[in-house]
Homo-oligomer: A and B are copies of this chain.
Amino acid sequence: MRYNLPKILLFSGAVFCALNPAFSQSILGFDAAGAQKEVALEKRFDQQLKAENLRAHMKRMSAHPHHVGSPFDRENAEYARDLLKSYGFEARIDTSYVLFPTPKTRVVELVEPTKFKASLSEPILKEDATSGQTKEQLPTYHAFSADGDVTAELVFVNYGIPEDYEALKKMGIDVKGKIVLAKYGNSWRGIKPKVASENGAIGCIIYSDPKEDGFFQGDVYPKGAFKSDAGAQRGSVLDMPMYPGDPLTPGYGATKNAKRLARTEAPTIMKIPVLPISYGDALPLLKALGGQVAPAAWRGALPLTYHVGPGPAKVHLKLEFNWDVQPAYNVIATIKGSEYPDEWVIRGNHHDGWVYGANDPLSGAVAVLEEARALGELMKTGWKPKRTIVYALWDAEEPGLLGSTEWVEERQQELKDKAVVYFNSDSNARGFLYAGGSHTLEKFLNQVARDVTDPQRNVSVADRLRAKVLVDGSPKAKQEARSRSDLRIGALGSGSDYTPFIQHLGIASMNIGFGGEDDGGEYHSIYDSYDHYTRFKDTDFSYGVALAETMGRCVLRMADAQILPFEFQNFANTVQQYAAEVKQNVESMRTQSEDHNRLLRDNQYQLAADPKEPFTQPEPMDEVPFLNFAPLDNALASLDKSATEYSQALQKSGQLPVGNVEKLNEVLYKSERYLTHPEGLPRRSWFQHQIYAPGFYTGYGVKTLPMIREAIEQKNWTEAQQGIERVSEALTQFAAQVDKATLLMK
């Protein structure tokens, strides 16, 4: 998988005191002397990093397809393990056994009004050296699609998200018993067949429209980086917003002999057949559609008038899969902590790819390897981390975070006790730093970004990002970039291996990478190759090195800090913003409902409608009640007070507590656990974090204060009120932990 698209506009404020060298040496978690030593250590770390190593690893690891269950997947795992061992880590492979479907039969054909059979293939290109290894490549498909053989009229459903079905309803169109054709974009792909199925569709085809992913964006491969008319996007459609990981072992490790659900009982496997196709294959289907012209916002860049259907296009979709259990090889390497061996700083990236995976995931994985080598070099000079460092290269991320999730589930109690933090990366490219994660780490990350130099512009990566926000940000982001001392980081939804750590266990996490100046349409295709990466992405691996410098600092500071560098004022400020948003949502919905019902009562919709177009009188909207936000406001006020007191106590102490440091640090890193609830979110108990979750109807996209926000969106007012109370309790408990830490500082 990959990171969500660059989060630069979330990361939106910074006034660094770059001109004050004294301040620039201040590091959260270290006293003055400790910080000086740390700066010197980090300098030595940086000196070890070599771009050519990243290049060599990528070339080696992308030489053959390395999806789950392939021989080269295992070879890569062993290669990484052996490298890590050679760097001085204790390294091993932890194996899980996960369901991983691969296709046996794939047919998409237009059967009426004309005949056309989709090619479903990606051509060999002389400019792309590995593209010809057709026998080793997994074909284009959606992992965890249902088996199926269906023939039905086609309906074009835009992105296939819930609001598109609302629009279809207004147009008088029902997809029941139909096959839907959806565009990639605007949601994680797995949402599209899920919503299609909820609406009664019997099959789903997803294509990449050249508007979002093809010639509209730029010249196509191999002339340029973008998707050609034969490119199709593989990917998982496992219902990860319910729970990620092996669908047969929900909530526990997929060990060899674990008790497994029957496949038919597994709720996260898609209920209908679904397949990705290229825009070349989509064109004849779209051309064959009749019915109403699609709304303007639905139309893509293909040279035709987009119609919605249903029919006269009729499509036959036939899919059969091998439903095999395959080994997932997680490479785990550790350096034991010298003072606190039972405090773990974990850093990971997956290693499996859909095909060659040069960008996704190797661009991040090779940074992991080079960081590890640099740590090894530091160890040779006598340095030892205070805390245990765990480096992980996950397998089976692509089909649904299977490797990391099963590994986490298998050892959840140990992780709850010992994991201080989890740092994740995935794909990495040229451009701007993006970072998302626990806001208790926002200040920490800002200091790291202050101390890493951008390879192209020779200012800190923080300053370069701030420049981008000041020049291209929204008015609000620009304003904040001038007035707020820290850049904002995004919140985490899902889409990479941080999910089991933060969402399931409440381990503070951070996802980091660079991007925004790379081009591409190679995502999850055979063209995500070494050739493509070295032409269009981080061509000289300088941002791979920048990622290693960034992550290296994260790991080193967290492993050696005197007081763990969690900070709570930014967190409190962020949650206040989320609370303001959900309140605003309720108010907007109330106004919208009142306006709508008034227009309906006065028959204005009908008067305004074109009598020559189909018209359906809309339904009246329910009145929006007033919710009691007082518990949340009280919890936020108390959190704010606690956060301020902790900062003051920390400042007073000069970052050296007089009390029990070990106890203090434990309180600090376990504080995030108090933001979880054992019952999790409604109807998806695996997701226990009460502040961040992937949206049930957005997929990767985060919903903050998810229980409150999604209940409001779904107009479930009772649940929204319960959510307010649950979140308020969590925040109150969390604030109590912050108070505990403050007391321990004194």
Contact = CB atoms under 8 A, between A and B. Distances in A.
B305 A303 contact: no
Contact of A467 (B301, B466, B517, B608): B608
Interface in A174-228: 210, 215-220, 224, 226
A607 interface: yes
Given A301-B303, A302-B303, A608 B464 contact: yes
A467 B303 contact: no
B517 A610 contact: yes
A220 B607 contact: no
Interface stretch (A71-79, A468-476, A726-734): A468-476
Interface stretch (A124-132, A337-345, A455-463, A499-507): A455-463
A612 B220 contact: no
Interface string A602-619: 011111101110000000
A293 interface: yes
A304 interface: yes
A457 B611 contact: yes
Contacts of A220: 305
Interface residues on A, range: 35 or more
A599 interface: yes
The interface centre, meaning the residue of A226, A457, A459, A472 with most chain B CB atoms within 10 A of its CB, is A457
Contacts of A466: 604
A590 interface: no
A299 interface: yes
Contact of A293 (B218, B599, B607): B218
Contacts of A612: 517
A684 B219 CA distance: 45
Contacts of A431: 610
A466 B610 CA distance: 14
Q: How many copies does the complex hold?
A: 2
Contacts of A215: 303-305
Nearest to A214: B305
A360 B210 CA distance: 36
A48 to B, nearest CB: 26
Contacts of A457: 606-607, 611
B471 A599 contact: yes
B218 A605 contact: no
A593 to B, nearest CB: 15
The interface centre, meaning the residue of A218, A304, A459, A608 with most chain B CB atoms within 10 A of its CB, is A608
A468 B305 CA distance: 26
A605 B468 CA distance: 8
Interface in A627-667: none
Contacts of A217: 305
A216 B305 CA distance: 5
A299 B216 contact: yes
Contacts of A599: 470-471
B293 A219 contact: yes
Contacts of A218: 293, 305
A210 B478 CA distance: 36
A471 B611 contact: no
Interface in A212-265: 215-220, 224, 226
Contacts of A608: 464, 467-468, 470-472
A219 B305 CA distance: 6
A463 B607 CA distance: 8
Contacts of A293: 218-219
B305 A604 contact: no
Given A457-B607, A464-B607, A607-B464, A224 B305 contact: yes
A302 B303 CA distance: 6
A219 B290 CA distance: 10
A467 B216 contact: no
Interface in A506-526: 517
Contacts of A603: 467
Contact of A604 (B226, B470, B517): B470
Nearest to A454: B607
Contacts of A219: 293, 305
Contacts of A611: 456-457
The interface centre, meaning the residue of A217, A303, A431, A463 with most chain B CB atoms within 10 A of its CB, is A303
The interface centre, meaning the residue of A304, A459, A464 with most chain B CB atoms within 10 A of its CB, is A304
A697 to B, nearest CB: 26
A305 B228 CA distance: 11
20 contacts: A210-B303, A215-B305, A217-B305, A219-B293, A219-B305, A220-B305, A226-B305, A302-B303, A431-B610, A457-B606, A457-B607, A459-B607, A463-B607, A464-B608, A467-B603, A467-B604, A468-B607, A471-B605, A517-B610, A517-B612
Closest 10 CB pairs of A and B: A467-B607, A471-B608, A303-B303, A467-B604, A467-B608, A468-B608, A517-B610, A456-B611, A215-B305, A470-B604
Given A466-B604, A470-B599, 4 more contacts: A218-B305, A301-B301, A457-B606, A478-B595
